[in-house]
Copies of this chain bind each other. A is one copy, B any other.
Amino acid sequence: MFRLFTMLLIGFSAAYAVAEEPPTMTSVLEASGAADWVVLEQQSLLYLFLDEGVIVFELAPQFAPRHVANIERLAAAEYWDGLAVVRSQDNYVAQWGDPAAGTETARPLSSAEDSLAPEFFRARDGLAFTAIESRDAYAPEVGFVDGFPAGRDEGRAWLAHCYGMLGVGRGNDIDSGSGAELYVVTGHAPRHLDRNVTLVGRAIHGIEHLSSLPRGTGPLGFYEAPEQHVSIRRIRLGTDLEADEQLGFRRLRTDTDTFVELVDARRHRREAWFADPAGRIGLCNVPVPIQVVDPR
């Protein structure tokens, strides 16, 4: 009892007090309630249909409103249909869309813009930023905003290139990205890309269909032969799908005590296997739980 009392004094959670065991990620999630989760709106979901399966991304308009709006226009115009995944670079990215984007032979962008002012970062204020204690190699401070990994400094906040993050390819001009080419991180986080390219979301379902594609053998992992391209059936916003095609998800909210407890459990790894738990954690090693729910 003295032990339990002491623990309460030093701020352990109610779940800990009930279980009388140090929390693990499993126990934290089991103790979560409905208010800890947010059901994702179909209008915030981008579906990529391949023969291999469907990949779903949650979009991040709070960081990249112009780019997300352009992607919505491209999806509505069925722009990517019949294009392909053209690049799979080991330990880096998979990329799809129009390799001729920005050239004279580019596929027309319909009502979408072919040039957008960059959204590499935004103002720091106005976000539900949950900081996590971590010595980060790239950012003065790191944490999560609405489920997305992010960094910030005194004035700015930006999305971080963790595994599964969705970005807008560009050329050397910083305003040369439109969404005609998109990429997803499929390797160790290339954080040196942070604040150099616009990130627009995160894969929440099916990324294995992109991360396990054969690697391209050309420079930068581009496929060398057209027959290696992986055809895109369709890319659509969730709201443009038939009801029976929609998938339902809820995501753990990251502005909650439950998320803080989850990060703590991940930091300390109290499962029996661990001989020497790190007691530390890196931004891109924090899982943000997603669960499949009935979409209707």
Tell me the A residues contacting B by CB distance below 8 Å.
88, 90-91, 118, 120, 134-138, 162-164, 171-172, 174, 187-192, 194-196, 207-208, 211-215, 266, 269, 272-278, 280-285
Q: How far is the CA of A172 from the CA of B271 in the complex (A)?
A: 10
With both chains docked as a complex, state the minimum distance between the C-beta of A102 and any C-beta of chain B, in angstroms: 14
Q: Are the C-beta atoms of B272 and A172 separated by less than 8 Å?
A: yes
Q: Are the C-beta atoms of B278 and A191 separated by less than 8 Å?
A: yes
Question: In the assembly, how many copies of this chain are there?
Answer: 2
Q: Is the interface of A mostly helix, strand, loop or mixed?
A: loop
Q: Closest B-chain residue to A284, C-beta based?
A: B188
Give every chain B residue within 8 A of A134 (Cβ-Cβ): 137
Q: Closest B-chain residue to A135, C-beta based?
A: B135
Q: Are the C-beta atoms of B208 and A285 separated by less than 8 Å?
A: no
Q: Closest B-chain residue to A118, C-beta based?
A: B275
Q: How far is the CA of A269 from the CA of B138 in the complex (A)?
A: 14
Give every chain B residue within 8 A of A190 (Cβ-Cβ): 285
With both chains docked as a complex, state the minimum distance between the C-beta of A121 and any C-beta of chain B, in angstroms: 9
Which residue of B163, B171, B192, B207 is within 8 Å of A278 (Cβ)?
A: B192
